Amino acid sequence: MKKKKLYNKTYDKTILVVYGCDNKSFCRFIKNKYKEDIDIANAKGCFYDKNSKMVIWAGEKNKLDMSIFVHELCHACFYLLRYVSIPARKENDEAFAYLFESFYSQIK
């Protein structure tokens, strides 16, 4: 299991990205860290949040699966914008774009 933390200064939030493990291992990780049972059978990726703690699971391979990561990062960005009371609307698309870019640029 590999982990990488991504940080956004504007909203002072961190996303933990986990990959290189199967979904059962990820579920055990969540149970150990957050004391919560989750069921993501047959999933290839997951966005998890609890009390504004955000975790992305982005695949089983030792290399980050970018298509899964991007998909789950979209969920995380929409969640974070809702958390700070910015609704997902056309007039707020720049907020989403900058937020997405701030996290994505830390992965390269």
* Phi, psi values for residue 77, rounded to 5°: -65, -45
Q: pTM of the full predicted structure?
A: 0.92
pLDDT digits (tens, 9 = 90+) for 68-88: 999 999 999 999 999 999 998
Q: Quick one: which of 6, 4, 2, 22 has its CA closest to 14? A: 6
pLDDT digits (tens, 9 = 90+) for 18-35: 999 999 999 999 999 999
User: How do the domains of the chain map onto residue ranges?
Assistant: 2-104
pLDDT digits (tens, 9 = 90+) for 42-65: 889 999 998 889 999 998 888 889
